Amino acid sequence: MAQGLKVAVVGATGMVGAEMLRVLEQRAFPVAELVPVASARSAGKTVTFNGAEHRVVEIAPEVFEGVDLALFSAGGDTSRKWSPIAASKGALVVDNSSAFRGDPDVPLIVPEVNPEAAARRPKGIIANPNCSTIQMVVALKPLHDEARLKRVVVATYQAISGSGATAVAAFEAQEAAIAQGGEVDKNKLSGQLSRNLLMHWKPDPETGYQEEELKMVSETRKIFGDPAIAVSPTAVRVPVVTAHSEAITVETHEPLTAERARELLSKAEGVQVVDDLSQGIYPQPIDAAGQDPVYVGRIREDVGNPGGIQMWVVSDNLRKGAALNAVQIAEKVLLK
């Protein structure tokens, strides 16, 4: 194990950046020197790590000098510009944006699913998948290994924190306005999310899907290395602050029983089975928030497609869906 690494966190003042700092600290990642990085607007602020205050510096080429690991969570434009610069200075870059996920020279990694793909990284960059994809493929991995995925139909119930701190504040303002009988500001969230559901990601005019949905199609195929897997997604924003939920229907090339699926999932890395519907026990976002596992429940045989499986999957989108997955990637690559 490395004795001490110089680690830069780009976007350190954002929700995911702050979670990255917590995860690094909680997992005792060997950080000898922390470099919190942000835009000029946030430069000069401080963040706390391992009990000490660290001054946030403005992003610039020189901040990556001597950096061993650069964790990026500052948006696609920032990543496209600065990730190659960080990598050129010798840093392992783990990027949480969508900037490089489709690049054939950038591995798209979920450590419980395809860690071996991280060995080939010609650009020095590894991409973190989309939050909704990460938790789904962790739950699908044992089923794929057993019976090979043929088709996945998924509906996501995505928490507002996936849109960042500004969106959370806007949602809380809507909640407060309704409680006080005031007028709800719908502009910041492209609609009213309080007591409602929204589908407000960027639409793809050619397919009628949202870009958030199409990410799940391409990313799932890339992660499993199988372009023939059919993925049919629907993404929905729900009035929950943290933790995404997903209703997943799986068809495999070989039939599966619910009993066998439950057995496989109970042994799977990163998965915790929470499944006793008769007693009201199933994964809930309120229980998953702040936790690391991907929780799987409602494991049952597909009544409409014998041999298929249906399940309910819940995980913290800021942790396993972003920060934790990124740190786990770094552990796999650097802490051998």
CA–CA separation, 153 and 63 (whole Å) = 44
Q: Is 309's pLDDT higher than 50?
A: yes
pLDDT at 336: 77
Q: Is 164's pLDDT higher than 70?
A: yes
Q: Where are the domains of the chain?
A: 5-129+322-334, 133-317
Active site residue 244: yes
pLDDT at 1: 43
Q: Is 329's pLDDT higher than 60?
A: yes
If one counts every other C-beta atom within 10 angstroms of the C-beta of residue 21, the result is 23
What is the pLDDT averaged over residues 180-205?
96
What is the pLDDT averaged over residues 188-203?
96
Query: Which residue among the candidates 54, 144, 244, 253 is catalytic per the annotation?
Result: 244
The 3-state DSSP composition of the chain as helix, strand, coil percent (nearest 5) reads: 35, 25, 40
Query: Which residue among the candidates 54, 131, 144, 200 is catalytic per the annotation?
Result: 131
pLDDT digits (tens, 9 = 90+) for 249-277: 999 999 999 999 999 999 999 999 999 99
pLDDT category of residue 171 using cuts at 50, 70 and 90: very high
If one counts every other C-beta atom within 10 angstroms of the C-beta of residue 22, the result is 17
CA–CA separation, 57 and 35 (whole Å) = 7
What is the pLDDT averaged over residues 1-21?
91
Domain 5-129+322-334, CATH homologous superfamily name and number = NAD(P)-binding Rossmann-like Domain (3.40.50.720)
Third-level CATH fold of 133-317: Dihydrodipicolinate Reductase; domain 2 (3.30.360)
- Quote the mean pLDDT of the chain: 97
The amino acid occupying position 279 is: Q
What is the pLDDT averaged over residues 161-182?
96
Residue 128 is classified by DSSP as P
pLDDT at 35: 98
pLDDT digits (tens, 9 = 90+) for 112-153: 999 999 999 999 999 999 999 999 999 999 999 999 999 999
Q: Which sign, positive or negative, has the C-alpha torsion 68, 88, 99, 336?
A: negative
Task: Tell me whether the CATH fold assigned to 5-129+322-334 matches the one assigned to 133-317.
Answer: no
Q: Is 311's pLDDT higher than 60?
A: yes
